Amino acid sequence: MPQTFAQKVLAKYAGKETVLEGEIVEVSPDVSMSHDNTAAISKTFEKIGVDKVDDPDRHVIVLDHCVPPANATFAENHKTVREFVKKQGIQYFYDTNNGICHQILAENGHCLPGIIMTGSDSHTTTYGAFGAFGTAATRSETAVIMATGKIWFRVPETMRFLFHGDFPAGVYAKDLALEILGMIKADGALYRAMEFDGPAAHLLSVSERMTLCNMAVEMGAKIGYVPPDQIVYDYLEGRAKSNYEPVFSDMDAEYESVTEIQFDDLEPNVACPHTVDNVHKVTDIAGESLEQVFIGTCTNARIDDLIIAAEVLRGKKVDPSLRLIVIPASRRIMIQASALGILTDLMEAGASIATPGCGPCMGNHLGVPATGEKVLSTANRNFKGRMGNRDSEVFLASPHTCAVSALKGCIADPREVEIDMEKVQDIIAKTEK
Amino acid sequence: MEKKIKGRVWKYGEDVNTDVIFPGKYTYTVNDPAEMGEHAMEDLDPEFAGKVQKNDVIIAGKNFGCGSSREQAAVCLKVKGVGAVIAPSFSRIYFRNGVNVGLPLITCKKAIDAFEHGDEIEIDFEKGEIKGAKGSFSFPPFNDFFFGIIDAGGLIPFTRKRLGIEA
Ligand code: SF4
């Protein structure tokens, strides 16, 4: 029986030849990630009644949701996590000075083709960029993984997306993700695996794949997946935490649906308040006033995103009617940006730069909007209250759209400030080496 | 757990969210599972909690359980004796919460239109079969693991049992 990637990976880990879609299987994930919520998870773990974590090396813990801590409660929480990590002998612990969990797992070679990864965070789907089966687990489930090393999954049906062509100027992976969201809506891929393939999928960089798979969960998906290729293998060179064996869908696997997307037809998109699937072309809402622009988060704050922002803003000034906040996804990216002079460019343009981490993405600190304010952000969610104030509004777009909007003082078409993408690619290539 | 059940259908529409299954206003005030049951489906069907019988089955449209991740929205149906919920799709977190508290959830598109409110229904979990006046429909059968969680009363007690730690 020909099978999809999701079926093949789950069958392999469940020790079976084949599995049916809808079937429940129990597997041991290679990696279980948790972040600041490890404090709460450790309490549930203790309630189960075992002393020692089943396999300390399975767990990767990153402190990122409010770093450095904004107040004593967050600080205590971090302290609880540090104590737990020490007591359990967990070696893969990344303290508050590293960056956003999903970026940290990628950079440190924990995300590998063909493996199963869970995370007590919805955006664990990001790991599909590397050809891993990455999906969220609840806090109780993560505690159970600590105790037994196991978790159950319902084998998902797969929706396949085939990409063709090239992005026109001003269009990026973020616009593609928003395009699909607008098309299939926030429940369009409920409990499904989303497989992104076709010739154009294999031209996407690792960073772009991460943006796309990160947003798969916004459509309800269990996983996002790009079949791994040389681009991924090159990224993993010298980084991979272990050997790996990629898994691919069989040629004649059955898909629930197949959707073809021509990149050349895409335009810059913006998700409007208060749902991620409220997607409009930037041209339809250009001119909307803004009080804040945020370039950050696990969706779009990698070096390519920062280079693009700097290309737009270099030698210019952010419109005085708004604040621009830039938070690199990791310390490593911040160091690269610093070496490239990008941080200086952005600060000279008027941006505030903050410590790598989640920042104001979920409203913990570093840029919570005031009542009635509108924010344009590179994040993945714009639910009411997401950034910490129920009476503010959040719009989502690409870093290019965000940077141009910061310049203009309102939502603006990124094509108003063209950038030389060849030059951008060049800088990225040199930086990554 | 009974591997076969027989009951009556309670039929609802699409996108039944966790707020109507278990109103948000009770999430921090009601902690007793039995009392949670008394508020089950309160904002959608005030008759439900008073009239539902053991092994009755909820059949609903797509995206059942969308909204928040509150576990009570699964617990309240479980304590009311709901035998199963059948829908074409569940919000992922509701599906996981459902299984983890021991509430059988069945994804089956074809059965939805074959049942009306109040119809008789039979489910064989082991065979993966739903039977009614208008025919029978199949779904992936539940395995021992699934029965194990449901029998133990949820994921945490199941884990304790497996590890030999008695409750
Ligand atoms: S950046 Fe935002 S979406 Fe990403 S992990 Fe942090 S809080 Fe979650």
Contacts of B99 in chain A (CB under 8 A): 24, 152
- Given CB atoms, is A258 within the 8 Å cutoff of chain B? no
Question: Which 3 state secondary structure label does DSSP give A78?
Answer: helix
Ligand 1 pocket, CB under 6 A: A 65, 100-102, 121, 123, 297-298, 358, 361-362, 379-380
Residues 6+ apart with CB under 8 A from A362: A65, A381, A386, A387, A388
Question: Nearest CB to A26: which of B63, B142, B145?
Answer: B145
How many Å apart are CA A51 and CA A54, to the nearest integer? 9
Mean pLDDT, all residues of chain A: 96
Sign of the alpha-carbon torsion through A55, A56, A60, A64: positive
Q: Which of A241, A227, A95, A91 is nearest to A160 (CA)?
A: A227
| Cβ(B125)–Cβ(B3) below 8 Å | yes
Ligand 1 mean position, distance from CA A146 (Å) = 23
- Given CB atoms, is B13 within the 8 Å cutoff of chain A? no
pLDDT at B7 (0 to 100): 97
Ligand 1 mean position, distance from CA A229 (Å) = 27
Q: What is the pTM for the complete model shown?
A: 0.93
Q: What's the pLDDT tens digit per position in A228-267? A: 999 999 999 999 999 999 999 999 999 999 999 999 999 9
Q: What average pLDDT does range B14-36 have in this prediction?
A: 86
Q: What is the DSSP string of A114-145?
A: T-EEEESSGGGGGGGGGT-EEEE--HHHHHHH
Sign of the alpha-carbon torsion through A37, A65, A133, A56: negative
Ligand 1 mean position, distance from CA A130 (Å) = 19
- Given CB atoms, is A28 within the 8 Å cutoff of chain B? no
Question: Which 3 state secondary structure label does DSSP give A32?
Answer: strand
Mean pLDDT, all residues of chain B: 91
Q: What's the pLDDT tens digit per position in B12-24? A: 999 898 889 998 7
Contacts of B144 in chain A (CB under 8 A): none
ipTM for this prediction? 0.87
Instruction: Determine, for residues A148 and B163 on separate chains, whether the beta-carbon distance falls below 8 Å.
Output: yes
Q: What is the DSSP string of A190-201?
A: TT-EEEEESGGG
pLDDT at B52 (0 to 100): 97
Give the rounded distance of the alpha carbon of A339 from its chain centre.
24
pLDDT at B167 (0 to 100): 53
| Cβ(A330)–Cβ(A357) below 8 Å | no
Average pLDDT along chain A, 433 residues, taken 10 residues at a time = 97 96 93 95 93 97 96 95 98 98 98 97 96 94 96 96 98 98 94 97 98 96 97 97 98 97 98 96 98 98 98 98 98 98 98 98 95 98 90 97 98 97 92 73
> How far A101 CA sits from the closest chain B CA (Å)?
21
